[in-house]
Amino acid sequence: MLTNEKRSFIIASLEQQMSKKRLEHVLRVEQKALELASLYDVDITACQLAALLHDLAKEWTMEQYETVVKKFNLPNHMLQFGSEILHGPVASCVIDEMFDVNDERIQEAIACHTIGASQMDDVAKVLFVADYIEDGRVFDGVEIARELAKNSLEDVILYKLQQTIAYLAKKQLPIYPETIETYNTWIIKKEKMSEK
Protein backbone atom coordinates (compact mmCIF):
# COMPACT_ATOMS: atom_id res chain seq x y z
CA MET A 1 0.00 0.00 0.00
CA LEU A 2 1.08 3.57 -0.61
CA THR A 3 1.88 5.73 2.40
CA ASN A 4 -0.85 8.23 3.26
CA GLU A 5 1.58 11.01 2.43
CA LYS A 6 2.31 9.80 -1.10
CA ARG A 7 -1.34 8.99 -1.79
CA SER A 8 -2.50 12.45 -0.61
CA PHE A 9 0.19 14.12 -2.71
CA ILE A 10 -1.04 12.31 -5.82
CA ILE A 11 -4.70 13.04 -5.13
CA ALA A 12 -3.99 16.74 -4.52
CA SER A 13 -2.29 16.86 -7.91
CA LEU A 14 -5.14 15.00 -9.63
CA GLU A 15 -7.61 17.51 -8.20
CA GLN A 16 -5.80 20.20 -10.20
CA GLN A 17 -6.08 18.36 -13.51
CA MET A 18 -9.46 16.69 -13.63
CA SER A 19 -13.12 17.13 -12.77
CA LYS A 20 -14.52 15.90 -9.47
CA LYS A 21 -16.49 13.27 -11.36
CA ARG A 22 -13.40 11.82 -12.97
CA LEU A 23 -11.49 11.86 -9.71
CA GLU A 24 -14.32 9.85 -8.16
CA HIS A 25 -13.96 7.32 -11.01
CA VAL A 26 -10.22 7.14 -10.37
CA LEU A 27 -10.77 6.47 -6.66
CA ARG A 28 -13.25 3.70 -7.48
CA VAL A 29 -10.71 2.17 -9.88
CA GLU A 30 -8.16 2.31 -7.03
CA GLN A 31 -10.59 0.44 -4.76
CA LYS A 32 -11.27 -2.21 -7.38
CA ALA A 33 -7.59 -2.57 -8.27
CA LEU A 34 -6.75 -3.17 -4.59
CA GLU A 35 -9.45 -5.85 -4.41
CA LEU A 36 -8.28 -7.61 -7.59
CA ALA A 37 -4.61 -7.36 -6.59
CA SER A 38 -5.28 -9.14 -3.34
CA LEU A 39 -7.57 -11.74 -4.97
CA TYR A 40 -5.00 -12.57 -7.67
CA ASP A 41 -1.90 -12.01 -5.56
CA VAL A 42 -0.48 -9.15 -7.63
CA ASP A 43 1.78 -6.35 -6.29
CA ILE A 44 -0.68 -4.18 -4.33
CA THR A 45 1.24 -0.90 -4.42
CA ALA A 46 1.98 -1.20 -8.15
CA CYS A 47 -1.71 -1.78 -8.90
CA GLN A 48 -2.72 1.08 -6.61
CA LEU A 49 -0.34 3.52 -8.32
CA ALA A 50 -1.39 2.37 -11.79
CA ALA A 51 -5.03 2.93 -10.86
CA LEU A 52 -4.49 6.37 -9.29
CA LEU A 53 -2.47 7.64 -12.25
CA HIS A 54 -4.18 5.95 -15.22
CA ASP A 55 -6.46 8.84 -16.26
CA LEU A 56 -4.07 11.60 -15.17
CA ALA A 57 -3.94 13.14 -18.66
CA LYS A 58 -7.53 12.50 -19.76
CA GLU A 59 -8.55 16.18 -19.51
CA TRP A 60 -5.30 17.68 -20.76
CA THR A 61 -5.30 19.91 -23.86
CA MET A 62 -4.09 18.90 -27.31
CA GLU A 63 -1.12 21.27 -26.79
CA GLN A 64 -0.12 19.36 -23.68
CA TYR A 65 -0.35 16.07 -25.59
CA GLU A 66 1.76 17.49 -28.43
CA THR A 67 4.47 18.56 -26.02
CA VAL A 68 4.69 15.09 -24.49
CA VAL A 69 4.54 13.29 -27.86
CA LYS A 70 7.50 15.37 -29.07
CA LYS A 71 9.51 15.19 -25.87
CA PHE A 72 9.20 11.43 -25.51
CA ASN A 73 9.29 10.59 -29.22
CA LEU A 74 5.91 8.91 -29.30
CA PRO A 75 4.80 8.08 -32.86
CA ASN A 76 3.55 11.33 -34.38
CA HIS A 77 0.54 9.66 -36.00
CA MET A 78 -0.90 9.18 -32.53
CA LEU A 79 -1.78 12.87 -32.46
CA GLN A 80 -4.58 12.26 -34.95
CA PHE A 81 -6.36 10.00 -32.48
CA GLY A 82 -7.45 12.44 -29.79
CA SER A 83 -7.67 12.17 -26.05
CA GLU A 84 -9.44 8.79 -25.83
CA ILE A 85 -6.41 7.03 -27.24
CA LEU A 86 -3.66 9.46 -26.22
CA HIS A 87 -4.32 9.92 -22.52
CA GLY A 88 -2.86 6.55 -21.48
CA PRO A 89 0.42 6.66 -23.44
CA VAL A 90 0.92 10.33 -22.47
CA ALA A 91 0.33 9.68 -18.76
CA SER A 92 2.76 6.75 -18.83
CA CYS A 93 5.53 9.08 -20.08
CA VAL A 94 5.12 11.76 -17.42
CA ILE A 95 4.57 9.85 -14.18
CA ASP A 96 8.28 9.45 -13.56
CA GLU A 97 8.99 13.17 -13.52
CA MET A 98 5.72 14.10 -11.84
CA PHE A 99 5.58 11.40 -9.16
CA ASP A 100 8.87 9.47 -9.28
CA VAL A 101 7.09 6.41 -10.64
CA ASN A 102 9.65 4.60 -12.78
CA ASP A 103 8.36 1.04 -12.43
CA GLU A 104 7.96 -0.20 -16.02
CA ARG A 105 5.09 -2.48 -15.12
CA ILE A 106 3.10 0.56 -13.97
CA GLN A 107 4.10 2.63 -17.00
CA GLU A 108 3.09 -0.20 -19.35
CA ALA A 109 -0.20 -0.80 -17.56
CA ILE A 110 -1.14 2.86 -17.93
CA ALA A 111 0.04 3.08 -21.53
CA CYS A 112 -2.24 0.23 -22.61
CA HIS A 113 -5.22 0.76 -20.30
CA THR A 114 -7.61 1.94 -23.02
CA ILE A 115 -7.07 -0.58 -25.80
CA GLY A 116 -5.24 -3.35 -24.00
CA ALA A 117 -2.23 -5.10 -25.50
CA SER A 118 -1.33 -8.49 -26.90
CA GLN A 119 1.07 -9.01 -24.01
CA MET A 120 -0.11 -7.75 -20.63
CA ASP A 121 1.56 -8.46 -17.32
CA ASP A 122 -0.41 -8.87 -14.09
CA VAL A 123 -0.42 -5.18 -13.17
CA ALA A 124 -1.73 -4.26 -16.64
CA LYS A 125 -4.43 -6.93 -16.39
CA VAL A 126 -5.58 -5.68 -12.99
CA LEU A 127 -5.81 -2.07 -14.20
CA PHE A 128 -7.58 -2.99 -17.46
CA VAL A 129 -10.20 -4.98 -15.55
CA ALA A 130 -10.56 -2.57 -12.61
CA ASP A 131 -11.20 0.35 -14.98
CA TYR A 132 -13.94 -1.69 -16.65
CA ILE A 133 -15.83 -3.00 -13.65
CA GLU A 134 -15.34 -0.32 -10.95
CA ASP A 135 -18.51 0.13 -8.87
CA GLY A 136 -19.71 3.21 -10.78
CA ARG A 137 -19.92 1.49 -14.18
CA VAL A 138 -23.50 0.79 -15.29
CA PHE A 139 -23.31 -0.39 -18.94
CA ASP A 140 -25.10 -3.53 -20.21
CA GLY A 141 -22.98 -6.53 -19.39
CA VAL A 142 -21.09 -5.03 -16.46
CA GLU A 143 -22.59 -7.65 -14.13
CA ILE A 144 -21.34 -10.41 -16.43
CA ALA A 145 -17.87 -8.84 -16.36
CA ARG A 146 -17.96 -8.62 -12.54
CA GLU A 147 -18.88 -12.31 -12.32
CA LEU A 148 -16.08 -13.28 -14.70
CA ALA A 149 -13.63 -11.23 -12.60
CA LYS A 150 -14.19 -13.56 -9.65
CA ASN A 151 -12.44 -16.39 -11.51
CA SER A 152 -10.27 -15.08 -14.31
CA LEU A 153 -8.81 -11.72 -15.31
CA GLU A 154 -8.16 -13.09 -18.81
CA ASP A 155 -11.85 -13.88 -19.32
CA VAL A 156 -12.78 -10.29 -18.44
CA ILE A 157 -10.11 -8.91 -20.77
CA LEU A 158 -11.49 -10.88 -23.70
CA TYR A 159 -15.07 -9.96 -22.79
CA LYS A 160 -14.12 -6.26 -22.56
CA LEU A 161 -12.39 -6.36 -25.94
CA GLN A 162 -15.39 -8.07 -27.56
CA GLN A 163 -17.87 -5.63 -26.02
CA THR A 164 -15.81 -2.56 -26.90
CA ILE A 165 -15.42 -3.56 -30.54
CA ALA A 166 -19.13 -4.37 -30.86
CA TYR A 167 -20.02 -1.06 -29.21
CA LEU A 168 -17.72 1.00 -31.45
CA ALA A 169 -18.99 -0.72 -34.60
CA LYS A 170 -22.60 -0.15 -33.57
CA LYS A 171 -21.88 3.52 -32.93
CA GLN A 172 -20.10 3.74 -36.30
CA LEU A 173 -16.90 4.88 -34.65
CA PRO A 174 -13.46 4.06 -36.05
CA ILE A 175 -11.81 1.01 -34.52
CA TYR A 176 -8.06 1.35 -34.21
CA PRO A 177 -5.88 -1.40 -35.73
CA GLU A 178 -4.28 -2.03 -32.31
CA THR A 179 -7.72 -2.65 -30.82
CA ILE A 180 -8.47 -5.34 -33.43
CA GLU A 181 -4.96 -6.77 -33.14
CA THR A 182 -5.31 -7.09 -29.38
CA TYR A 183 -8.70 -8.75 -29.73
CA ASN A 184 -7.32 -11.24 -32.27
CA THR A 185 -4.40 -12.18 -30.03
CA TRP A 186 -6.64 -12.80 -27.03
CA ILE A 187 -9.30 -14.75 -28.93
CA ILE A 188 -6.64 -16.99 -30.51
CA LYS A 189 -5.08 -17.53 -27.07
CA LYS A 190 -8.51 -18.58 -25.80
CA GLU A 191 -9.07 -21.02 -28.71
CA LYS A 192 -5.70 -22.62 -28.03
CA MET A 193 -6.52 -22.99 -24.34
CA SER A 194 -9.82 -24.73 -25.07
CA GLU A 195 -8.18 -27.15 -27.53
CA LYS A 196 -5.97 -28.49 -24.76
Shortest Å distance, C-beta 5 to ligand GDP = 26
DSSP class per residue in 114-137? TT--SS--HHHHHHHHHHHH-TT-
Closest CA to 130 of 10, 22, 48, 72: 48
Strand ranges in 51-137 using DSSP code E only, listed in sequence order = none
Residue 175: contacted member of ligand GDP, Fe ion, none (CB under 5 to 8 Å, by partner type): ligand GDP
Residue 120 has phi, psi (to 5 degrees) of -130, 135
Indicate which single residue of 173, 184, 187, 189 sits in contact with ligand GDP (rule: CB under 6 A).
173
Residue 40: contacted member of ligand GDP, Fe ion, none (CB under 5 to 8 Å, by partner type): none
x/- contact string, 52-71, with ligand GDP (CB under 6 A)?
---x--x-------------
Which parts of this chain interact with ligand GDP (CB under 6 A)?
55, 58, 84, 113-115, 131, 164, 168, 173-176, 179
